[in-house]
Amino acid sequence: MRITLIQPDIFWEDKPGNLDSLGMTISKLSGTTDLVVLPEMFNTGFSMNTAEISEESFSETFSWMKNLASNCRLAVCGSYTVRESQKYYNRFLFVTENGESWSYDKRHLFSMGGEDINFSKGEKREIFTYKGFRISPIICYDLRFPVWIRNRNDYDLLICVANWPDSRRDVWNTLLKARAIENQCFVAGVNRVGHDEAGINYTGESAILDPRGKPVALLPDSEAAYATGEILMSDLEAFRKKFPVWRDADEFSLGV
């Protein structure tokens, strides 16, 4: 499967501007990739202004993703703010070229940024299959919590969409690599670049890593860009067979 990571400089709370800009980039990728991964809150930036930026499920941004996926014959994923029953969720959405969709609500809300006050947390892990890969999505701060992410022999690709600040860039790079190695899976981590209205700087450093933690694709530091890498299920299966760490893993249950 070919995966393209897009790390944009997100326009603050400018949904039309972000969707137009990203749409033009994705349209150029038609026929060259199977999956496009966008950052956390790709249509607004990491804003806590939930009343203004949120939208109902399956409305504006969902329609944009569905139409783009259909027209370009690829899958698109990323997170944005969804409103349901007077609650707000930082929701990851994955939409395929055939109109199938899956979603995941961010479990670990970034309390230091007030996300836990403005959003409701997700209550369950989500795993779905696309192009023969079992996929587990997470959002930004989730990356710090390995018990939540632990591979129970139920996924092959971990997708992390983020707005991860420059001040903790080493943590981002270290945890992406650690999650790939400990879970014996491919990892696709996409981050934004630029500054937001809170004065936070982002350097991107998006990457696709193999189960050894080695790069399949890397994006440049502090540059709006995209890159494509190919992952093969046969390579993952061969590595897991040769070095079957999963056989010695501890059994556990997670209370949610």
Residues in contact with 210: Cβ distance below 8 Å, sequence separation at least 6, in sequence order: 180, 186, 216, 231, 235
Catalytic site includes residue 72: no
Element (H, E) at 135: strand 133-139
Catalytic site includes residue 123: no
Catalytic residue among 72, 77, 140, 160: 140
What is the length of the chain? 256
Pair of tokens at residue 93: 């959405």
Per-residue burial over 76-110, b = 16 or more CB atoms within 10 Å of its CB, e = otherwise:
bbbbbbbbeeeebbbbbbbbbbeeebbbbbbbbbb
Catalytic site includes residue 140: yes
Rounded distance, CA 253 to CA 100, Å?
A: 30
Rounded distance, CA 181 to CA 169, Å?
A: 19
Return the closest-CA partner of residue 219 out of 187, 193, 245.
Answer: 193
Catalytic residue among 106, 160, 177, 185: 106
Catalytic residue among 40, 72, 115, 160: 40
Catalytic residues: 40, 106, 140
